[in-house]
Structure 1
Amino acid sequence: MFREMRRKKQVLTLEESIQVMNRGTSGVLAVSGDDNYPYAVPLSYVYHDNKIFFHCAKTGHKLDAIARNEKVSFCVIDKDQVVPDEYTSYFRSVIVFGKARILEDEAEKRRALEILVERYSPNHEESRRLQAIEKEFSIVCMIELTIEYMSGKEAIELVKAKRLQTN
């Protein structure tokens, strides 16, 4: 169902792809937008237990698109170093495909918000994080993206550099 990567030497392992997802703080969500135009929007997220959680307003383009078609993709760029003398870039990125859903159940929504808030405010006391959640709970929407397929890739130069480090 999902295409295999052509450049097998550049494929990240699942563990490496998860590390990219855990390091990242922003990615691009792609949905099937209005009139079948792709709609890709950058957003903050948290990766947790093979799912991605993000928040948004209770109305908008991405919610309309998800309501029409739950199938989405999400991309995180971990590295993008332009190397002018080599006419290339040293890159590392991960793309996931999955199904997105709006969390309607209050307990699920609250847990997802707790995971997100903890990710972005790890040094705040739990009571402070919970206060922030309470303040915004009624006006925020939480989306859960269940990952069906994850694929990571990096520049061949980074692959070679890793080999040199392990030898």
Structure 2
Amino acid sequence: MFRKMRRKKQLLSEEVSREILQKNTSGILSVLGDGGYPYGVPLSYVLAGDKIFFHCAKTGHKIDAIRREEKASFCVIDQDKVVSEEYTTYFRSVIAFGRVRILENEDEKRKAIRILTEKYSGDQGAEGMEKEIETHFANLCMLQFDLEHLTGKESIELVNMR
């Protein structure tokens, strides 16, 4: 169902691809937008097993698109260094494919926001995090991206450096 990468030498292992998802903080969620146009939106996220969680507003282009079509992709750029003397960039990125759903169940939503909050403000302590969650919980929408396929790629220059 998913295409195999043509440049196999540049393929990152699933382990390295997951590490990239784990350590980074933002990526582009791409969905089928209005009129059949792709819609890519930058989002903060957290990886938890085979799930990626995002928070967002309860209404808008992204939510409408997800309600219409659950299939999506999520791209994270780990490195993109311009090397002008070589007329290239040294890049490393991953693309995840899967299905997105809006978490309607309160327990699922709470669990997801706690995982996300820990990544971004875990140094604030549990009490402070819980207070912040409660303050915004009623107006919060949580999305769950179920990972079905993950591909990582890096420039041939980075491959050759190893």
Please give the range of the TM-score, normalised by the shorter of the 2 chains.
over 0.9
How far 1:161 moved relative to its partner? 1.4
**Aligned residue pair count:** 162
Q: Which amino acid aligns with 2:150?
A: M
The 1-side partners of 2:37 and 2:115 are apart by: 32
The 2-side partners of 1:47 and 1:161 are apart by: 28
The 1-side partners of 2:4 and 2:133 are apart by: 40
Q: Which amino acid aligns with 2:152?
A: G
Residues 19-58 of structure 1: pairs in structure 2 closer than 5 A: 19-58=19-58
Aligned match of 1:100: 100
How far 1:157 moved relative to its partner? 1.0
Task: Give the aligned CA root-mean-square deviation in angstroms.
Answer: 0.5
The 2-side partners of 1:67 and 1:15 are apart by: 31
The 2-side partners of 1:148 and 1:43 are apart by: 19
Q: Percent identity?
A: 57
How far 1:24 moved relative to its partner? 0.9
Aligned match of 1:89: 89
Name the SS of the counterpart of 1:121 in structure 2.
Answer: helix
| Unmatched segments (≥5 aa) in structure 1 | 163-167
Q: Which amino acid aligns with 2:71?
A: K
Residues 156-167 of structure 1: pairs in structure 2 closer than 5 A: 156-162=156-162
Aligned match of 1:133: 133
Name the SS of the counterpart of 1:160 in structure 2.
Answer: helix
The 2-side partners of 1:4 and 1:51 are apart by: 22
Q: Which amino acid aligns with 2:91?
A: F
How far 1:16 moved relative to its partner? 0.2
How far 1:23 moved relative to its partner? 1.2
Give TM-score scaled by structure 2 length: 0.99
Query: Residue by residue, what CA displacement relative to the aligned partner does 1:55-82 show, whole Å, maximum 9, x if unpaired?
Result: 0001000000000000000000000000
The 1-side partners of 2:80 and 2:23 are apart by: 14
How far 1:43 moved relative to its partner? 0.8
Q: Which amino acid aligns with 2:8?
A: K
The 1-side partners of 2:23 and 2:5 are apart by: 23
Give TM-score scaled by structure 1 length: 0.96
Query: Residue by residue, what CA displacement relative to the aligned partner does 1:21-75 show, whole Å, maximum 9, x if unpaired?
Result: 0111000000000010110011111111111100000100000000000000000
